[in-house]
Amino acid sequence: MSVWIESLSRSQFEVCLRESRTFDGPHRNLVVNWMAYVNHPSSWGAEESSEVVFSEYETPNARNSHALCEEVTKSYFRVCIKDDAGYGGQRENINVNYLVIGAFFNNSVKCLLSADLEPCGNVSCEYHSHCVALGPQQVICRCESSCPSFEEQVCASNGRTFRNLCLLEKEICTTRGNYSYIHPGSCKGIRSFPLQKGRHKFRNVPSWAEDQCESITFDPFIFYPHKKIYVQLTVNHFNYSDPAIVHEATAPWVESVNTTQFTACVTRAGRNDYPSDSFADVDWVAYQGAPSGGVAGEEKFSRWWTGTSCQTITLPSGKFLASPTVIVTAEHYRSGLKHDATSVWLEDVSASSFKICLREFQNFAGVHDDISVNWLAFDSLQRPLFREHNDVSFQNNASPVKNHNFAFCKDVSFIGNYSKSPTVLLTAKHSTSGGNAAAECNGIVSWIEYISTSGFRICVKEVFVNRFDPLTVSYAVLAGGATYVRKDGPTIRGTATDEFLPVIPGYKWNDVNCTDCHKFTCKK
């Protein structure tokens, strides 16, 4: 935002603002600080007050990047301006006032000490507070005033679990507490990460019905009553008997989530050109908080009314060394509005951020509002939430074929064998680099066809933008009981002769150091 003064007189002046980029949207709640003086007070320690005049006849040149510049001596500094010349190139004189605050010595400028420029430079604050400069020689240590909303639970030495490290340090600061950070994750074990998973088969409906919502009930006493419940779900056709069929693209979402139940909804494409008994199943998992080592959150999307809407999520600094696995699901707060059906996918996933994109399932379907996306990012977890997770690459360098219903499909083998078909979640991701389509031009939907004890089939469809871009689909597998590793995989022998512990991929057996153990036990 550019700011300048017009019509200056003894009694008044006019402050003008102009957006830096044309059509940059509505602007509100802007405040301009100003001070006016004829002779500055001696207490300011100012040595010079003057002005630079840029003549209306001066012409900008390329050497100064088409700016007007003037040099002020003693020792010197340079003042530059850019302005809109107006209709026909006509301009007026422009005055720039300046005030020099410093110290002079033998008619030369003495260098200012770093503490004059940055009063907090040598200040050390306690209890996780941070230094705030109130003036050139006045500082104060203050506690953090706000913390991010994402969940990355940490355990404090007083046995309490905090939503994230910032909230822990904020409380230590405000209470001057004599406790500290101990380890990532909850202090209370698995009960602090309530979780339930399942598979739901939608009832067969008449062939003209493209949308369906059904309630799924939680087991009693699973979730805390005053804490956010996240739900992730993925469409599959687990019970369909013909493996040669590839179904139409289907978009899922959740509504009306509470401690006793939630509503799962699906919308399918295809204009009813599918078998009447082929409607979808969904695999789902509901949880509170974030698993130890992971980060969970909810991103609320502002209103939009056509095409694609994308928003960027910034991950905690230094949390991940490489791009994490991210699983996402849309949640609608306006229940029962089928026109809000959207496909959801990820763009440009990195160790520091990723972008969530939503595209309306039907073009020009109307205003979309009150839609959020639940997301879960993780790399390796301290405790085994997912039995395995991986990425599947789709190069998409040829046209999709009719045998796969013009979708791109791949068969995936599990790392381990399962005694029954496990719960599988997946999310597609795309990169805009390398000449690929912009996120706002794209639209991607992914789903699962069959799931067996040894593997499953992933299918994706994407909007054609000059070509089909390469895609990656991240999947995560949840299963009840142990994973039995293949013959060539490692096992851990127990103390008994015939006792073997199954290996769980990604599990950290040494997530807490022995030096963190206490020599006492507390009991209520």
Q: Which domain holds residue 72?
A: 2-110
| Assigned domain for 493 exists | no
pLDDT over 70 at 92, yes or no: yes
Is 237 found in the same domain as 92?
A: no
Instruction: Report pLDDT for 45.
Output: 73
| Assigned domain for 116 exists | no
Instruction: Report pLDDT for 507.
Output: 45
pLDDT over 50 at 255, yes or no: yes
Overall average pLDDT of the 135-147 stretch? 88
- Average pLDDT for the chain: 79
Angle CA(383)–CA(387)–CA(390) in degrees, nearest 5?
110
Instruction: Report pLDDT for 295.
Output: 93
Instruction: Report pLDDT for 273.
Output: 59
Instruction: Report pLDDT for 316.
Output: 92
| Assigned domain for 244 exists | yes
Residue 311 token pair = 């928003």
Instruction: Report pLDDT for 404.
Output: 83
pLDDT over 80 at 291, yes or no: yes
Could you tell me if 225 and 259 are in contact, meaning their C-beta atoms sit under 8 angstroms apart? yes
Higher pLDDT, 132 or 479: 132
Distance CA 189, CA 207 (A): 47
Last residue of a domain, one of 190, 215, 237: 190
Is 30 found in the same domain as 80?
A: yes
pLDDT confidence bin for 82, thresholds 50/70/90: confident
Distance CA 339, CA 325 (A): 30
Overall average pLDDT of the 8-26 stretch? 77
Last residue of a domain, one of 138, 165, 190: 190
Is 47 found in the same domain as 25?
A: yes
Last residue of a domain, one of 175, 190, 205: 190
Is 277 found in the same domain as 346?
A: yes
Overall average pLDDT of the 448-457 stretch? 90
| Assigned domain for 512 exists | no
Instruction: Report pLDDT for 14.
Output: 92
Is 329 found in the same domain as 292?
A: yes
* Neighbour-count burial for 386-399, b at 16+ CB within 10 Å, e otherwise: bbbbeebebeeeee
pLDDT confidence bin for 61, thresholds 50/70/90: confident
Higher pLDDT, 25 or 467: 467
Overall average pLDDT of the 260-289 stretch? 80
pLDDT confidence bin for 108, thresholds 50/70/90: very low
| Assigned domain for 54 exists | yes
Highest mean pLDDT: which range of 45-49, 213-217, 402-406, 502-506:
213-217
Is 50 found in the same domain as 149?
A: no
Residue 168 burial (CB < 10 Å; 0-12/13-18/19+)? buried
Is 477 found in the same domain as 334?
A: yes
Q: What is the number of alpha carbons within 13 Å of residue 74 lying toward its C-beta?
A: 13
| Assigned domain for 415 exists | yes
Query: DSSP labels for 209-260?
Result: --EEEEEEEPPTT-S-TTS--EEEEEEE-TT-S-TT-----EEEEEE---SS
pLDDT confidence bin for 353, thresholds 50/70/90: very high
Q: Which of 108-117, 250-259, 288-297 has the lowest mean pLDDT?
A: 108-117
Number of domains forming the structure of the chain: 3
Is 339 found in the same domain as 202?
A: yes
| Assigned domain for 348 exists | yes
Instruction: Report pLDDT for 481.
Output: 37
Is 206 found in the same domain as 89?
A: no
| Assigned domain for 510 exists | no
Is 434 found in the same domain as 348?
A: yes
Is 405 found in the same domain as 327?
A: yes
pLDDT confidence bin for 112, thresholds 50/70/90: very low
- pLDDT tens-digit readout, 142-195: 999 889 888 898 888 877 889 999 999 999 999 999 888 887 888 776 456 788
Instruction: Report pLDDT for 362.
Output: 73
Is 469 found in the same domain as 347?
A: yes
Instruction: Report pLDDT for 52.
Output: 87
Q: Which of 128-132, 377-381, 477-481, 499-503 has the lowest mean pLDDT?
A: 499-503
